[in-house]
Amino acid sequence: MEPGSVAETKEALKGAGYLADEPAALVSFLAQRLSKPVLVEGPAGVGKTELAKALSRATGRELIRLQCYEGLDEAKALYEWNYRKQLLRIQAGGSEHGWDDVHGDIFSEEFLLERPLMQAIAGAEPVVLLIDEIDKTDQEFEAMLLELLSDFQITIPELGQISATTMPIVVLTSNNSRELTEALKRRCLYLWLDYPELEREMAIVRLHAPELSEALTRRLVEVVRMVRALDLKKPPSIAESIDWARTLLLMGSDDIDKATFDQSMSILVKHRTDIDLVAERVGVKLADPLRPQA
Ligand SMILES: Nc1ncnc2c1ncn2[C@@H]1O[C@H](COP(=O)(O)OP(=O)(O)OP(=O)(O)O)[C@@H](O)[C@H]1O
Ligand SMILES: [Mg+2]
C-alpha cells in the first residue's frame, strides 16, 4: 500500500519509532510513489541506516541489507553459482546424459545462490533494500549497481535478464568517504541528513530514554550542541546523545554539573585530542553555570 501524502509517511515513520524532519519525510514519500532509490548522505550517527529500518517497520516490508565494504563483489552482492551442487549434479548424471543436457540443467535457477540484491528484486513480496555505506565500495561496484537501480533488473549471462517481480524501496547510505559518481546520483533521490535542531533532537532522545526528565533532556541536548560547535575530530551524534541520556539515568544524575560531565564525557567524545579540548572548553563553562541555579 502506498502512502497518500507526506504527512501520512511522516506519521507512519513516527509510529515505527523514527522522527523524520520534512525533507526526510518528503523523500521517503517520493521514494515509494516514484519507485526511485534514495541516496542518504550525512555525518556518522544521524539516522541514515535507521531511516531504512524504520521504513521497513512502517511498511511491514522485510528489510534486506547489503553491508558494503572494500572489495565487495558481485558474487557476494548479486548472485553466485552453487558450484558444489553443480558438481554433484554432473557426477550424479553419469555418462548416459550428454553434455548439452547437463549444461542446460546446471545453469538454471535451481543452481543459483541469490545474494541480497537479487533477493530484493526476485522475491514474491516487496521489500526494503538497504545498501549501507556504498562509499566503502569501488566505482566498478557502483557501475554494476546502475542497471539494477535504473531498470530493476539483473543480467545473468547464462540465464538472461531477470526482471523485478516486485518493486523494492531502495535506500543507499554514504558517509562521504569518497565522492559518488554522477551516474549513480542521477538515478537517486537525494537526502542530506544533518544533526537535528534542538527540539527534534530532544524528541528523539526522549523517545529512546523516556525516563529522563524533560528539563534534563533539554540541558543534555544543549550541552551536546556546545560540544558539536567545537572543532572536533568526531563531533557527538544522535547516537551519542542517546547513550549519554541512558548513562545519566544509570548514574542517577538530576543535573549536568561539572563533576557529572567530567565523569561521563567519554560517552560523547572518543578521541584523545577531542577529550582534552572538550574538557577545557565545555567543562569550564559548566563550572561557571550557564543559567542561574534554583
Ligand atoms: N530521526 C530519528 N528518530 C529516531 N531515532 C533516531 C533518529 N535519528 C537517529 N536515531 C537513532 O540514532 C542512532 C544512530 O542512527 P544510525 O545508526 O541510523 O546512524 P547512521 O547515520 O547510519 O550512522 P553511521 O554513518 O555511523 O552508520 C540509532 O540508534 C537511531 O535509533
Ligand atoms: Mg549507518
Q: How far is the CA of 289 from the centre of ligand 2 (A)?
A: 36
Nearest to 254 by CA among 285, 210, 213, 207: 213
Structure confidence at residue 28 (pLDDT): 98
Q: What is the pLDDT of residues 86-115, one digit of tens each?
A: 999 888 876 666 777 777 788 888 999 999
Cα separation, 285 vs 50, in Å, equals 34
Cα separation, 169 vs 146, in Å, equals 15
Alpha-helix residue ranges (DSSP H) falling in the chain:
6-15, 22-34, 48-59, 74-77, 83-93, 99-106, 116-122, 139-151, 182-186, 198-208, 214-229, 238-251, 258-264, 272-278, 284-287
Average pLDDT, the chain: 91
Q: Indicate the pLDDT class of residue 290, thresholds 50, 70 and 90.
A: low
Q: Indicate the pLDDT class of residue 56, thresholds 50, 70 and 90.
A: very high
- Tell the residue nearest (CA) to atom 16 of ligand 1: 47
Q: Indicate the pLDDT class of residue 294, thresholds 50, 70 and 90.
A: very low
Structure confidence at residue 49 (pLDDT): 98
∠ CA 174-176-179, rounded to 5°: 105
Determine whether 95 is exposed, middle or buried from the number of CB atoms within 10 Å of its CB (0-12, 13-18, 19+): exposed
∠ CA 253-254-256, rounded to 5°: 75
pLDDT top residue among 166 and 246: 246
The per-residue b/e assignment along 280-291, b for 16 or more CB within 10 angstroms, e otherwise, is: eebeeebeeeee
Ligand nearest to the CA of 51: 1
Q: Are 202 and 162 in contact (CB under 8 A)?
A: no
Ligand 1: residue of 9, 234, 238 to mutate (most ligand atoms within 8 A of CB) is 238
- Tell the residue nearest (CA) to atom 6 of ligand 1: 47
Task: Report the Cα 28 to chain-centroid distance in Å.
Answer: 13
Structure confidence at residue 94 (pLDDT): 64
Cα separation, 131 vs 285, in Å, equals 42
Half-sphere exposure of 126 (CA within 13 A, CB side): 15
Task: Report the Cα 106 to chain-centroid distance in Å.
Answer: 37
Q: What is the pLDDT of residues 78-88, one digit of tens each?
A: 999 999 999 99
Secondary structure element (H or E) that encloses residue 163, with its range: strand 160-163
Q: What is the pLDDT of residues 115-173, one digit of tens each?
A: 999 999 888 999 999 999 999 999 889 988 987 888 888 888 888 888 888 899 999 99
Residue 202 has pLDDT above 90, yes or no: yes
Cα separation, 195 vs 237, in Å, equals 7
User: If you average pLDDT over residues 24-45, what whole number do you get?
Assistant: 96
Residues with CB under 5 A from ligand 2 (ion): 49
Structure confidence at residue 89 (pLDDT): 86
Cα separation, 2 vs 12, in Å, equals 11
Secondary structure element (H or E) that encloses residue 114, with its range: strand 112-114
Half-sphere exposure of 283 (CA within 13 A, CB side): 17
Q: What percent of the chain has pLDDT over 90?
A: 72
Q: Which residues line ligand 1 at a C-beta cut-off of 6 Å?
A: 17-20, 44-50, 173, 175, 204, 207, 238-239, 242
